[in-house]
Structure 1
Amino acid sequence: MDVCDVKNALRLQQREARDSMDPLTRQKASAVACRHAIEAWEQLRIDRNGDKLTLFSYLSFGSEISTTPLIEHCWSQGDRVLAPRVDPVTRTMELREMDQYGDIVPGIWNIPEPALTCKEWSPEMWAGIDWVVVPGLAFDRRGGRIGYGGGYYDRFTVQAEAEKRNNSHVGPLYVSLLLPGQLLTQVPMEPRDLRVDVLFTLDGRLDCDYAKLTNDE
C-alpha cells in the first residue's frame, strides 16, 4: 500500500471517529483547546508589546473542532481575523478579513466563508500573519498532519513561506486545535506536506520540533 492509500484509509477512519463523537464532548474539548490557544495568543501579544495581532483561521464545519472561541476572543481584542474562501477550480484559497459574524456566508459544500465584500489579503500581505490555524483529521508530535486531501494548505504554505523570506518576517506560526483521538503516534507524510508548529490539545500546548524529535530517535 503506497502513502496515498495509507493516508486515505486513515482519513476515513479518523473522519468516522470524529463524526461519531458525542457533541457535548466535542464542545467541551473545543472550549479547552481554544482556552490553551488563547493563553498562548495573549503571551504573543505581550511579547509584541501589546500590538494588534493577525489570525488566519478556518471556519469550523460539521464535526470539526470549533474555532469560534478563539475567533471571538481575537475580535474582542481588536485583532485582525482572516478566513479562507476556496476556489475549487484553481484549488487555491483567498484570504479575507472578517469583522463580525455578519461577514460569514455559506460557501462551496455549504462550508462557511467570508463574504466577497470582505477585504482581501493579497499574497504580499501574508507575511504579516501571526498564526495560521490549520484544520486536520490527525496529527503527531513531529507536526505531521493528515488533512482532507485537497492540498489547499500545503499550497498556501509554500507561497506564504516565500513571502516570509522576501519580507524577512518572523511569522506565520502554524497551529492546530485537536479533539480527543486526533493525536497519533505517527501520521504518514510526504516531503511537500505541511507540518504544523504547535498543537493545542485538552492537555495544553505541545510544541512540535520535527528536526529534534527525528534526531532523538
Structure 2
Amino acid sequence: MYPSTHSPSNPLFNFVFRSMSVGLVALNYSKTLQAIAAGKKILRQRMKNALQAMSQELITSKSQRLTEQLLSSPEYQKSRNMGIYLNLPKEPNTEKIIQEALAGGRGIFVPQLLSQEYQSVNNLQGNASGMCMRRLSSVRQMEQWPLNRWNIREPPPPTGWDQIADQAIEEGGLDLLIVPGLAFTRLGDRLGRGGGYYDRYLSWYRIKSRSSHLHYPVLLSLAFEEQIIDELPVEPHDIKVDCVISA
C-alpha cells in the first residue's frame, strides 16, 4: 500500500508545500517592494512640486536659519572632516556652510558622480556606488569648477588615480556627512532622488570603516519644513540619517 501523496506526513507533500510557501512569501515580498517603489515615485514628484512652489526669498531665508543651526550644532562643532553637497536651486543653500567650514580649517569633501568609464576603476576600491568624495581646498577652487547640467558647480572629470580614489577615505574618513534628500521624517527616514548613490556609498563606507578602522560619519540632513512628513515608504537598502535639522 502506497502512502497518500496528499498526506501531511508525506515527505514529498511537505517539500512541495514548503516550496509553495516560500514562493508565495517571495511573491508577496516582491509585490511589496514594487508598491514601495511606486509610492516613492509619486512622493518624489509631490515633493518636487512643493519645492518648486517655494519662492527664492523663502528659500534664502530658511537656508540662512538652517546654516545658523548647523554651525552651532554639536555635530558640526565636533567635526574635523566633513562631506557636504553643492546644492541644487531648490535645496537648502550650503555655500555659507562651506565657506565657514573652510575658514575654520575643516577638511571639506564634496560628492562627485562618476561616468561609466571611471566607475570600473573606482570599483577596484570596492566602491560600486558610482560616487566618490573629492576634496575642496578653497572657495576659489570651487568657483573655478565647471557648471553641470543643473547649473551647479562640480569637480572636473578625474585626470588621475588620486582623483578617482575616494579622497575622504584616503585622508582618514569623515566625521560628519550632510546628506541631501527630497523628504524626511523626524525619525531620520530619507527619500532621495532615486539614484541610490548615497545609500550605495554609505553601505560601502560602513564596510570600509570596519575593515580599515575608519570612523563612520554622523549623518545629518538639512530640510525645509515643507520636506518633513510623518511617514515614508522605505526599502531594506535605505539608510537613515542620525539627525534632521529643519527650518
TM-score class, shorter? 0.7 to 0.9
Output the TM-score relative to the length of structure 1. Answer: 0.81
Report the equivalent of 1:95: 133
> 1:19, 1:63 within 8 Å by CA — same for their partners in 2?
yes
Report the equivalent of 1:201: 246
Deviation at 1:110, TM superposition (A): 3.8
Which of 68, 78, 84 pairs up with 1:35?
A: 68
Report the equivalent of 1:206: none
Counterpart-to-counterpart distance in 2, 1:77 and 1:124 = 21
Counterpart-to-counterpart distance in 1, 2:239 and 2:171 = 16
> 1:127, 1:171 within 8 Å by CA — same for their partners in 2?
no
Counterpart-to-counterpart distance in 2, 1:170 and 1:113 = 26
Number of equivalences: 195
Deviation at 1:93, TM superposition (A): 1.0
Report the equivalent of 2:184: 139
Deviation at 1:112, TM superposition (A): 2.1
Deviation at 1:83, TM superposition (A): 0.6
Structure 1 SS opposite 2:227: coil
Counterpart-to-counterpart distance in 2, 1:112 and 1:194 = 26
> 1:154, 1:193 within 8 Å by CA — same for their partners in 2?
yes
Structure 2 SS opposite 1:164: helix
Letter in 2 for 1:154: D
Bigger mean CA deviation after superposition, 120-129 or 181-190 = 120-129
Structure showing greater radius of gyration is: 2
Report the equivalent of 1:112: 153
Which of 16, 25, 28 pairs up with 2:58?
A: 25
Deviation at 1:131, TM superposition (A): 0.9
Deviation at 1:76, TM superposition (A): 0.8
> 1:137, 1:147 within 8 Å by CA — same for their partners in 2?
yes
**What does the per-residue CA deviation read over 1:69-106, in whole Å, with 9 as the maximum and x for residues that have no partner?**
21111011011111111124346112111122332322
Deviation at 1:15, TM superposition (A): 0.6
Bigger mean CA deviation after superposition, 109-118 or 124-133 = 109-118
Q: Indicate the structure with greater strand content.
A: 1
Deviation at 1:4, TM superposition (A): 0.8
Q: Indicate the structure with greater helix content.
A: 2
Deviation at 1:60, TM superposition (A): 0.6
1:50-61 to structure 2, matched below 5 A, reads 53-61=80-88
Which ranges in structure 2 are unaligned for 5 or more consecutive residues?
Answer: 1-33, 120-128
1:64-213 to structure 2, matched below 5 A, reads 64-89=91-116, 90=119, 92-103=130-141, 104-116=145-157, 120=163, 121-122=166-167, 124-125=169-170, 128-202=173-247
Structure 2 SS opposite 1:65: coil
Deviation at 1:152, TM superposition (A): 0.5
> 1:14, 1:137 within 8 Å by CA — same for their partners in 2?
yes
Which ranges in structure 1 are unaligned for 5 or more consecutive residues?
Answer: 46-52, 203-217
Counterpart-to-counterpart distance in 2, 1:85 and 1:168 = 24
Structure 2 SS opposite 1:33: helix
